[in-house]
Homo-oligomer: A and B are copies of this chain.
Amino acid sequence: MSKVITPKEQDYSKWYNDIVVEADMADHSAVRGCMVIKPHGYAIWEKMQAALDKMFKDTGHVNAYFPLFIPKSLFEAEEKNAEGFAKECAVVTHYRLKTDPNNKGKLIVDPEAKLEEELVVRPTSEAIIWNTYKTWIQSYRDLPILVNQWANVVRWEMRTRLFLRTAEFLWQEGHTAHATKEEAIEETKKMLDVYADFAENWLAMPVIKGVKTANERFAGADDTYCIEALMQDGKALQAGTSHFLGQNFAKAFDVKFAGKDGKLDYVWATSWGVSTRLMGALIMSHSDNNGLVIPPKLAPVQVVIVPVYKGDEGLKKVSEAANDIKKRLQARNISVKYDDRDTQRPGWKFAEYELKGIPVRIALGERDLANGTIEVARRDLLSKEVIQIADAENYIAKLLEDIQSNLYTKALERTKANTRKVETYAEFKRMLDEQPGFILAHWDGTPETEEKIKEETKATIRCIPLNNEQEAGVCIYSGKPSSQRVMFARAY
């Protein structure tokens, strides 16, 4: 094994990158800021997609697909949204290449194939979708529209990091239309709950549900709800957002509906999304210096069986037992890989699956077989146990549940231990540097103070937690009165 992960204590950022690359999750591409998602990484993303897609459908949503391109005139219709994303837009200006007359075998952009109107590569799809909804919605009978799409989007980021911030990324974006404000707000919160449910029960990642301040709102939203998670280095990661868009897009695109009383009104909107960023969240929630750790519910392979043997005869005997165990585990809906490649030694395979985060590894040797036992290693604790083959499926089914809940508990304890109340700005700044985490502090409620704190400390208000305790205090920065603490952190 030549693959080595930089210890996170030494260089957290390098540790993260090493895991992404060495565990075959993703890699940089020839295109600035764009990544290649490799098969092992993509398989985890597929598990996330499947779980989320089922949750969306169980809450009444259907999928559809809207164009990749947005004509500039549509893109600019909702001004705040357009302004918020304008600086990050990849723009298609031409629709043809031609051979370079001065350079054989090379191509140039054909100047005669200039588009009359430039096309923006979608950074988010509100504009093109609401322009479409206009044709779908006439009366209250056409509402609600509960649509989601799985798609790629492009935001031209200057500083990119694999999964966390890439120029192109994959995501889902829900776009719903409602007859009343109340129903739209209910939808916004419902989808936030779906995201929190997914984060906690699939990603094994505890999250804080909250609402963003005006400064941190999605461009074009009246309110942005979010889930925030704490990574191992004490920085926050926004893991999902759900926006109440009010009537902003309906007004920009003139989308009205006739109510039961025949009166025309603008439609109410929400949008909500999570992205391949969640892959970064998964890595930074659970992984260690040996590599990736995947929560069993999102592992493409939950159990790997590695044979330990001498000669063909030995392999044959071991394989028979291994395949029997594999079948018994599969009958319990456990995904199993039996790795009987003869091109690599067992020690190499152990290290490889550890690096790739496979939750459970079974080593099956000839001697074990004689004793009716196998060696079972769990990835999260790096511990091993010898168990009876006869009991394998019960033991391992239980073990996978244990690993899932252990990962969650560990992350929850880490998050709690690194969530602190702070009373003064000096303490706040010291804490950010020395004990980074979620910081609960009083704030005077003004964008100006928020901006100053951000400038001086790089910390932002991650959210105002839902059901926040009301408590009189004074702003750590301005000393002005405050009625509640908000949650600060430095963030990804």
A contact residues vs B (CB 8 Å cutoff):
27, 29-31, 34-39, 42-43, 45-46, 62-72, 74-76, 79, 82-83, 86-99, 105-107, 109, 118-121, 128, 131-132, 135, 141, 147, 151-152, 154, 156, 168, 170, 343
Given contacts A67-B29, A168-B69, contact A97 B92 (CB under 8 A): no
Partner of A66 from the list B36, B71, B93 (CB cut-off 8 Å) is B36
A-B contact pairs, 22 of them (CB 8 A): A27-B135, A29-B128, A30-B131, A30-B132, A31-B69, A31-B70, A34-B67, A36-B64, A39-B62, A42-B65, A43-B62, A46-B63, A67-B168, A68-B168, A69-B90, A75-B97, A86-B97, A90-B92, A91-B92, A91-B96, A93-B94, A95-B156
Prevailing SS type, chain A contact patch: mixed
Cβ of B70 and Cβ of A128 under 8 Å apart?
no
Cβ of A109 and Cβ of B95 under 8 Å apart?
no
CB-defined contacts of A99 to chain B, threshold 8 Å: 83, 86
Docked pose: A97 CA to B87 CA in angstroms: 6
Docked pose: A450 CA to B45 CA in angstroms: 47
**Which interface residue of A37, A67, A92 has the most chain B CB atoms within 10 A?**
A67
Docked pose: A96 CA to B121 CA in angstroms: 11
- Least CB distance from A317 to B in Å reads 26
Cβ of A66 and Cβ of B107 under 8 Å apart?
no
CB-defined contacts of A69 to chain B, threshold 8 Å: 31, 34, 90, 168
Cβ of A91 and Cβ of B88 under 8 Å apart?
no
Cβ of A96 and Cβ of B27 under 8 Å apart?
no
Cβ of A89 and Cβ of B96 under 8 Å apart?
yes
Cβ of A154 and Cβ of B68 under 8 Å apart?
yes
- Least CB distance from A121 to B in Å reads 7
Given contacts A30-B128, A36-B65, contact A121 B92 (CB under 8 A): yes
Docked pose: A170 CA to B149 CA in angstroms: 13
Partner of A141 from the list B27, B147, B170, B343 (CB cut-off 8 Å) is B343
Cβ of A36 and Cβ of B132 under 8 Å apart?
yes
Docked pose: A131 CA to B29 CA in angstroms: 9
Nearest to A40 among chain B residues (CB) is B62
CB-defined contacts of A46 to chain B, threshold 8 Å: 63
Cβ of B90 and Cβ of A95 under 8 Å apart?
yes
CB-defined contacts of A168 to chain B, threshold 8 Å: 67-69
Docked pose: A179 CA to B154 CA in angstroms: 36
Q: Which 8 A-B pairs have the closest CB atoms?
A: A34-B67, A37-B65, A39-B62, A86-B97, A95-B156, A91-B94, A31-B67, A93-B93
- Least CB distance from A156 to B in Å reads 4
- Least CB distance from A348 to B in Å reads 12
CB-defined contacts of A131 to chain B, threshold 8 Å: 30
Cβ of B107 and Cβ of A76 under 8 Å apart?
yes
Partner of A64 from the list B37, B105, B128, B343 (CB cut-off 8 Å) is B37
